[in-house]
């Protein structure tokens, strides 16, 4: 099974936790792990490689150079490392026809064999629909459009190569920089519109679904409840991650459970201060009062 992930220097530890969770919950699988990074050469990275090489899995690493780097716009918690997934087909051997891409801010909490077996012969990829409503989506001019979250992508490499998806995506990025709200995710959705297969939400359980955004979910309500109770892939997709002191994600402890089996087991959040302590302490009381947001930001 071929697995790809991409990260910058800030996400090396989290990529390690994600891969650790993958290994521990899929002990019967043999993986080829493809690491895509952009000029990462840190002690953390060397620690990651040593950790992965101690497993029984095959490790492949690729230092991806971004030509005209300034055209790859970023914002908030999304860095240029997000664009690296676009280049996967360039680096992966042509004999490999399918690969599962996983963001680094993920925990794999169950077996992924059924996901891997999904029949995507007729599609360029399989993904889970993005649940957060965005008024500026690149596809918002299309009635009832479907828009996927790019954190988990089961990619049909054969079709990507045949239809020049990488080249088309890069061209779209170059020509639409000002319109890209969610960067490469917007570009991929525009280029792959109508060419992707919708997966069960349990394969990319996005953080927004735990913040009362489930009313925006347009799929099967029973599937949504199954995904909330028994996620296969937990995606910490909101700006507050489990390694932040203020994290309120119900599966925050899952991250630290797998962290304990990595070289970063002694990690503690470093962003704790008095204001954040008071905010975190106040959350249960605000919840009882029905207060969910202040100044447009979620409190819990």
Does residue 299 share a domain with residue 210? no
If asked whether residues 168 and 23 sit together in one domain, one would say yes
| 178 and 278 part of one domain | no
Pairwise CA distance, residues 242 & 250, whole Å: 9
Assess whether 143 and 227 both reside in one domain.
yes
pLDDT value of position 39: 79
Claim to verify: residue 143 and residue 225 sit in the same structural domain: yes
Q: In terms of domains, do 93 and 233 share one?
A: yes
Give the pLDDT score at 195: 95
Distance CA 119, CA 126 (A): 9
Low-confidence ranges of the chain (pLDDT < 50): 69, 71-72, 76-77, 135-136, 143, 274-275, 277, 300
166/297 same-domain check: no
Number of domains composing the chain: 2
Tell me which residue range forms the domain holding 283.
270-300
Q: Are residues 275 and 295 in the same domain?
A: yes
pLDDT at 55: 94
Q: Is the same domain home to 260 and 178?
A: yes
The answer to whether 149 touches 106, Cβ cutoff 8 Å, is: no
Q: What is the pLDDT of residue 253?
A: 94
Instruction: Judge if 134 and 274 occupy the same domain.
Output: no
C-alpha to C-alpha distance for 291 and 161, rounded to whole angstroms: 49
Q: Are residues 201 and 261 in the same domain?
A: yes
Summarize pLDDT for 7-64 with one digit per residue, the tens.
Answer: 999 999 999 999 999 999 999 999 999 999 987 888 999 999 999 999 999 999 999 8
C-alpha 151/C-alpha 216 separation (Å) is 18
Structure tokens at 21: 């969770």
Two tokens at 134?
A: 């965005």
Question: The CATH number of the domain where 232 resides is what?
Answer: 3.90.550.10
pLDDT of res. 135: 45
Same domain, 296 and 161: no
């Amino acid at each position: 099974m071929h697995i790809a992930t991409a990260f910058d220097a800030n996400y090396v530890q989290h990529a390690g936790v994600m891969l650790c969770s993958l290994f521990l919950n899929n002990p019967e699988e043999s993986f080829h792990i493809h690491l895509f990074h952009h000029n990462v050469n840190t002690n953390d990275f060397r620690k990651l490689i040593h950790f992965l090489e101690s497993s029984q899995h095959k490790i492949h690493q690729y230092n991806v150079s971004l030509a005209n780097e300034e055209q790859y716009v970023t914002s908030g918690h999304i860095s240029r490392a997000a664009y690296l997934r676009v280049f996967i087909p360039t680096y992966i051997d042509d004999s490999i026809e399918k690969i599962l891409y996983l963001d680094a801010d993920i925990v794999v909490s169950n077996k992924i064999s059924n996901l891997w077996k999904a029949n995507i012969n007729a599609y360029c990829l399989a993904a889970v629909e993005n649940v957060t409503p965005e008024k500026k989506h690149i596809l918002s001019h299309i009635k009832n459009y479907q828009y996927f979250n790019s954190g988990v992508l089961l990619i049909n490499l054969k079709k990507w190569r045949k239809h020049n998806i990488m080249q088309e995506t890069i061209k779209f990025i170059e020509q639409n920089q000002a319109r890209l709200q969610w960067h490469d995710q917007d570009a991929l959705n525009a280029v792959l519109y109508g060419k992707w297969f919708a997966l069960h939400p349990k394969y990319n359980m996005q953080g927004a679904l735990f913040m009362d955004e489930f009313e925006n979910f347009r799929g099967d309500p029973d599937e949504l409840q199954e995904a909330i109770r028994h996620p296969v892939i937990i995606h910490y997709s909101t700006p507050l991650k489990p390694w932040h002191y203020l994290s309120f994600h119900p599966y925050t402890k899952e991250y630290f459970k797998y962290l304990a089996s990595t070289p970063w087991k002694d990690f503690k959040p470093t962003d704790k201060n008095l204001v954040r302590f008071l905010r975190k302490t106040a959350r249960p009381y605000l919840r009882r009062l029905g207060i969910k947001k202040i100044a447009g930001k979620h409190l819990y």
